[in-house]
Amino acid sequence: MVSADTVIKKSKKTISATSSKIHISGVDNLRPFQQSSLETTMNKALSKLDNVGNVTEFKCYVKTFEEGRGRVKYSIHLYLVIPGSSFTSEQADFDFNTAVSWAIKALEKEVLRAKEKHKYEVGKGKGMNKRGQVKDFMILVFLLILLGLWYQPEITKDILGNLVEFGKTITGYVIN
């Protein structure tokens, strides 16, 4: 088991892997250049994924299978844990670098998909946050007051009272 709790130097900058846990296992059957290639690509992937959230755990399992005619098939399993969610990715290929890059791309795609889904669940960009709800509600109240005062001023007070109660339940704010 290779653990990257040390500082790993790259040509451009230094990446500190002490804030996250990186575990790479199954490298016993790999050649030394494949091990170093795997370690550098995992550190690059971790630096990209660290921008998404605080990575608490990042595991990579490498499995090798002997196929017919002496060919070796590499299976890469990646596990990423971010507070609140976990992601997995599995890819296999006869070329080691291809299997690793496909697994990383699949993991990044899954993380970005979850990030976009979470973004719209929270309501950013759609006007569904508290401020957007209050703004939409106030525009609606203003238009209804204008229409009520214009057409039927006697029932405008009843409608306005109901709208204020409705606004309290929707937005959670007390409107005076």
Q: Each residue's pLDDT tens digit in the chain (176 positions)?
A: 454 444 444 434 333 443 346 788 988 888 999 999 998 999 898 888 888 778 889 999 999 988 778 889 999 999 999 888 899 999 999 999 999 999 999 999 999 888 887 766 555 445 455 555 667 777 777 777 777 666 666 666 666 677 667 666 655 555 55
Nearest-angstrom CA–CA distance, 129 and 123: 6
pTM above 0.85, yes or no: no
The pLDDT of residue 84 is 82
Fold of 2-122: Double Stranded RNA Binding Domain (3.30.160)
CB 7 within 8 A of CB 15: yes
Question: In the structure encoding, which two tokens stand for residue 130, read together?
Answer: 């508290």
Question: In the structure encoding, which two tokens stand for residue 158, read together?
Answer: 């009843």
The pLDDT of residue 153 is 61
The pLDDT of residue 106 is 95
Domain map (residue ranges) of the chain: 2-122, 130-171
Nearest-angstrom CA–CA distance, 93 and 73: 6
